Amino acid sequence: MTTRAASKKATAAPRRAASPTILPVVAVNEEEAERKKVDNDAMEMEFYNRIINDPSSSASPLTSRIVQSKSIQREDAAMNDDNDDNDAVTTTKNGEQEDQQQVQPMFAKLSAHAASQQQRTVGKNNNTITKAEYRRVRCPAHRYTPLRDCWEQLLTPLVEYLKLQVRFNTRTRSVEIKTSKHTPETCSLQKGADFIGAFMLGFEPQDAVALLRLDDLYVESFQVTDVKTLRGDHLSRAIGRVAGQDGKTRFAIENATRTRIVIADSRVHMLGSYGNIRLARNAICDLILGAPPGKVYNNMRNVAKRMNERY
């Protein structure tokens, strides 16, 4: 009996595992979900309104934070109102109230003479003596006669427009410029020195006076030997290529680049704006290095065309 029961139990087929119960899927009504969402939003808004209107109803951290911010805002508003009242209304000795306006202090504009003056005390009364600034421009030997001929043209813009004091020192052969109490701007002295310096380099007074009217004009100088080491006849031919026949090449470069060029022996001086001076310098360097004048004329023609289109 025992062995038979055991054999029957051993040969019995294994039992199957219970299959999981599959529950039916219930579809959620979209309208009902939307309605619940609206109800939750309404309840949340009601909760916040109740907290703000009645702070004592809840003691949550949010409530205390809201109450604190509202109290701070009320204190700041009251303080600002008090300050405005104190600034706007003042009481005089007679008991009358008058409006007080906060006016910034206004200082008179200093002249160039007063801004750059150097004061020192002398005597028992401590009197002050002002020492104005001045510039001295040396006159080369070959510019002495042109300076004497054009002295009136140089003196007029310096005295009438810049209000400077000008004199020519015959002992040192230099033009001395000094500020006065009538000089309106502090940069007038430097402008006057640049104007006289440009004339000493060889520019005409009508061209040099542009330095007084415009702020973006400069004077640049260089030697022919700085571009290429030349000596003797080679240096003379290079200078001749830059000048051209009767100055035709120099005039072409001036008109194309809107600059003024002075060729004094082996030195070249240029007057104009920064970009225009760069164009003129490139053309002159090409001529010194041996470029044919026809190629330079073609480049100047293209430069003039671009500048006309720009302006």
Q: Which value, in Å, is the radius of gyration of the alpha carbons in the chain?
A: 46
Q: How confident is the model at residue 97 (pLDDT cuts 50, 70, 90)?
A: very low
Average model confidence (pLDDT) across the chain: 76
Cβ contacts of 132 within 8 Å, gap of 6 or more: 113, 116, 117, 178, 179, 180
pLDDT, one tens digit per residue, over 44-57 is 667 666 655 655 55
Please tell me whether the overall predicted TM-score, pTM, comes out greater than 0.75 for this model. Answer: no
Q: State the CB neighbour count (10 A cutoff) for residue 109.
A: 8
Phi, psi (degrees; rounded to nearest 5) at 108: -70, 150
User: d(Cα 81, Cα 280) in Å, to the nearest integer?
Assistant: 68
- CB-CB contact of 117 with 132 (8 Å): yes
Cβ-defined contacts of 170-173 (< 8 Å, 24+): 172/136, 172/138, 173/138, 173/139, 173/144
Q: Which domains does the chain have, with CATH numbers?
A: 112-213 (3.30.1370.10), 218-310 (3.30.1370.10)
Residue with tokens 């510019």: 143
Cα dihedral across residues 178, 184, 185, 186: positive or negative: positive
Decide if pLDDT at 59 tops 50: no
Q: Model confidence over 186-203: pLDDT tens digits?
A: 788 899 999 999 999 999
> 142 Cβ partners below 8 Å, 6+ apart?
none
